[in-house]
């Protein structure tokens, strides 16, 4: 799944570690989500959306071939 998490994070001048701390996950988890190597659980996706004041579908979107 693609996402624009890195852009949203950069707009707030947050490091991956900053975002990880806010979400109570590891920096490695944030990196894996941003690079598309890991899709967050639904509860984590909701938590991310709430933190950024967005809908889930504004942050995460399917990757079509």
Ordered structural domains, the chain, with CATH: 2-60 (1.10.260.40)
What is the per-residue pLDDT for 56? 97
Half-sphere CA count of 14, side-chain side, radius 13 A: 20
pLDDT in tens, 8-59: 999 999 999 999 999 999 999 999 999 999 999 999 999 999 999 999 999 9
Q: What is the pLDDT of residue 65?
A: 54
Model confidence at 63, pLDDT cuts 50, 70, 90, reads confident
Q: Looking at residue 64, what is its pLDDT?
A: 78
Would you call 14 exposed, middle or buried from its count of C-beta atoms within 10 A (0-12, 13-18, 19+)? middle
User: What percent of the chain is modeled with pLDDT above 90?
Assistant: 92
């Amino acid at each position: 799944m693609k996402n624009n998490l890195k852009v949203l994070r950069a707009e707030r001048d947050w490091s991956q570690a900053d975002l990880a701390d806010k979400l109570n996950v590891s920096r490695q988890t944030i990196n894996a989500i941003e690079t598309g190597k890991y899709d967050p659980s639904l509860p984590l996706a909701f938590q991310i959306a709430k933190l950024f004041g967005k809908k889930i579908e504004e942050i995460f979107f399917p990757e079509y071939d």
